[in-house]
Structure formats: C-alpha cells, structure tokens
Amino acid sequence: MGEHKRNPTAINRAAAVPGAPGLTIDLDAMEKLLAGTTRFCEHCGLELAIFPPDDFFEHLYGTHAGLIEPAFVEAWRAYQNETDLAERLEMHRSQLFGYAWQLLTVRYDLRKKCVDSGVVTLPAGSGPH
Ligand SMILES: [Zn+2]
C-alpha cells in the first residue's frame, strides 16, 4: 500500500553510472521524459531523437563513419554484431549511460529537467543543478 510500483525493466536499468560516483540515471524514465526532444547531426544537420541515441549512433557510425574515431565505430559494430543477448544488452546499457552522461554535461536545460523530475540523481556536493 502506497508503495511506488515501477516497471521492472526500469529498476534493472536505473543504476549508478560507471566512472561517475554518486550519479544515477533511470534510463527508461529518461527516455519517457525526453520523448519528442531532438538534436541535429553536427555533420549534415539531420534531425534525430536525442534519447535514446540509437538512431543517432546508427546515423553517425554509418553515414559519417570516416569522420569518427575508429575505436568508437568498431565498438558500435561489435555491439551490432553481438549475438549473445545478455552481452548485447549490457553493451547497450553501457552505451546509454555514457551518452546520457555526455548529454547531461553539455545540455544544462535537459540536465535540470532530468534532475528536477528525479530521473537523474547527481553526486552530493556536485554544485548547482
Ligand atoms: Zn549526419
């Protein structure tokens, strides 16, 4: 009674961000919160969903592969070719956390929106949000 029911998938995906102590991101809630928000490809101006970044990655690592650090393109292709579902999900989760953290770093408006709605928890003492 009174217990907040959550999507089990969301529980599995909401977690501390590797390499960013104290930061937690609920990836499913972030996807819902940012639905309809877009970004533009810095290379050709194509408008794409900002989160999740799957379409953006597909575009960037496909259309603009020659402009991108080869290690990132290889990591994306390794993810695309991974046949072990559990491993593939973990790779995707890692990509989402990395991208989300970058996004929150460069887009203060989205960071504030995510923090204010409880989708993102920042480390204590990390300054104004
Ligand atoms: Zn482009």
Q: Residue 22 sits in which domain range?
A: 12-121
pLDDT at 10 over 90: no
Residue 87 CA to ligand 1 center (angstroms) comes to 28
Cis upstream peptide for 52 (omega within 30°)? yes
Q: Which residue(s) pair with 20 in the sheet?
A: 17
Residue 19 pLDDT: 64
67 part of a folded domain: yes
35 part of a folded domain: yes
Give tens-digit pLDDT for 44-94: 999 999 999 999 999 999 999 999 999 999 999 999 999 999 999 999 998
Provide the domain count of the chain. Answer: 1
129 part of a folded domain: no
Residue 23 pLDDT: 83
Q: Which one is predicted more confidently, 9 or 17?
A: 17
102 part of a folded domain: yes
Residue 56 CA to ligand 1 center (angstroms) comes to 8
85 part of a folded domain: yes
Residue 3 CA to ligand 1 center (angstroms) comes to 45
Mean pLDDT of 96-124: 92
Please report which confidence band the pLDDT of residue 16 belongs to, taking 50, 70 and 90 as the band edges: low
127 part of a folded domain: no
Whole-number percent of the chain with pLDDT over 90? 68
Please report which confidence band the pLDDT of residue 9 belongs to, taking 50, 70 and 90 as the band edges: very low
92 part of a folded domain: yes
1 part of a folded domain: no
Residue 47 CA to ligand 1 center (angstroms) comes to 9
CA distance 90 to 30: 18
CA distance 99 to 57: 10
Residue 40 CA to ligand 1 center (angstroms) comes to 8
Residue 4 pLDDT: 44
Please report which confidence band the pLDDT of residue 124 belongs to, taking 50, 70 and 90 as the band edges: confident
Residues contacting 91, CB < 8 A, separation 6+: 78, 79, 82
